[in-house]
Amino acid sequence: MMTYSEIERELNEIPKFGAKASLSNLSAYLELANHPERNLRVIHIAGTNGKGSVSAYIDSILRQAGYMTALFTSPHLIKINERFRINFKECSDEELINAWCSVKDYMVKGKEKGLQSLTFFEILFFMGMLIFSEKAIDYCILETGLGGRLDATVLSNPVLSVITSISYDHTEILGDTIEQIAAEKAGIIKEGIPVVAIDEENGAFSVIERTAKEKNAPVYGLKSQELTILKKCENTIDFSINSRYYKISNLKVKSYASYQVQNAALAVLAVKVLLPEVSQDVIREEIVKMYWPGRMEEIAENVYVDGAHNPGAVHQIYNSLTDSDKEWLLLFAVCSDKDYSEMIRVLGRLPWKRIYITKIDSARGADTAAVRQCFEEAAGCPICEFESAGEAFKAALRDRGDEKEENLLCLGSLYLVGEIKELAATMF
């Protein structure tokens, strides 16, 4: 049998970005496997920011309500297994290897029939459907990879569609206006299937509403004005929901980040639309328990990681830290295809004590000199530049001293989050 290292090496040899065939090509491969995706009741989640957190909140509530869940998310931070969870437990190496071997067999058969090769994400989606279809899953929560309309996950059969906050990201693929991006995300909406979405004042929701009307799909919007933050402590936030569709008070999220209030509220509304019988006690209990790695996650005392990788996500970080009474250090690395100049413009408005710039361990990593120039124009604090994330992280920890009074935030890319978490696991 293969080892995890072997499967990781083989999968990493497949290009993660690039041209792909039509969805009919992937559908033909799934046909060879008797369409495992059709055996699952899917909660389908798209959006620019918050997909993973919303997925995890929904998963947590459903499990507490007595349902067996499957969770398909991306990317992984350390191990591929993270992408495939059953009752929130990562799949085993054996399950992963068996699924990959099965997909490889189907790809051989497919090529014999003249089918085109599958992309990295299509392969992982195929693997997930094989893993999940072997279990007695009540609800499968599927997070899109990119967009929605042409995403591999759109071949599933949802019982509910959920669209999170929409902002600018992957504009070269999804379009350069909010309306165009929203149209791609709204591509997950299916005929007659309810849709729950963030009702933002940026033009996105009107596109979602229009698409839902065309598909005869009931649509439920959640406005930010319908959420009230009652109390914000060091690592918890108390809030209430007073929406047109559902009201609940005395909710609590375990997070420093204010953006998790909106993510939790969207998950709550989604569950209530799908399963009105779920009690408020279950909701309250599981919202505060939810854990999702890489989203304002405290990995050591006053050391946080967050995968904010686009201007919209960085705005959310800004809103979370702008009223902080702590001094903060920033460790930053970003992919070159992101709008990092706008990200840095927003970050520069925060009173960082010191900024550490590095490069992610990927060909997609942005040039540190260019990143530094942006920070020098935007921020008014000392800026240090390092060759690797490990060097930057160790320098930041040294600068904090033994008292650890300053908070350290590692930000800019989920690739960076994975590197820092893996390094931290050997240090703390």
pLDDT recorded at residue 233 = 87
Q: Read off the pLDDT band of 363 (50, 70, 90).
A: confident
Task: Determine the average pLDDT of the residues in 3-17.
Answer: 90
pLDDT recorded at residue 428 = 84
Task: Determine the average pLDDT of the residues in 323-327.
Answer: 86
Does residue 10 register a pLDDT over 80? Answer: yes
Q: Read off the pLDDT band of 26 (50, 70, 90).
A: very high
Does residue 267 register a pLDDT over 90? Answer: yes
Does residue 59 register a pLDDT over 90? Answer: yes
Span 373-393, pLDDT tens digits: 999 999 999 999 999 999 999
Task: Determine the average pLDDT of the residues in 159-181.
Answer: 86
Span 95-110, pLDDT tens digits: 999 999 999 999 999 9
Span 174-216, pLDDT tens digits: 787 989 999 999 999 999 999 999 998 888 999 999 999 999 9
Q: Say which residues have a Cβ less than 8 Å from residue 252's Cβ, sequence separation at least 6.
A: 236, 237, 238, 239, 284, 287, 288
Q: Read off the pLDDT band of 18 (50, 70, 90).
A: low
Q: Helix 280-289 vs helix 259-274: angle between axes, to the nearest 10 degrees?
A: 140
Q: Longest C-alpha distance within the chain, in Å?
A: 64
Task: Determine the average pLDDT of the residues in 58-80.
Answer: 96
Does residue 171 register a pLDDT over 80? Answer: no
* CATH numbers and ranges of domains, the chain: 4-289 (3.40.1190.10), 297-427 (3.90.190.20)
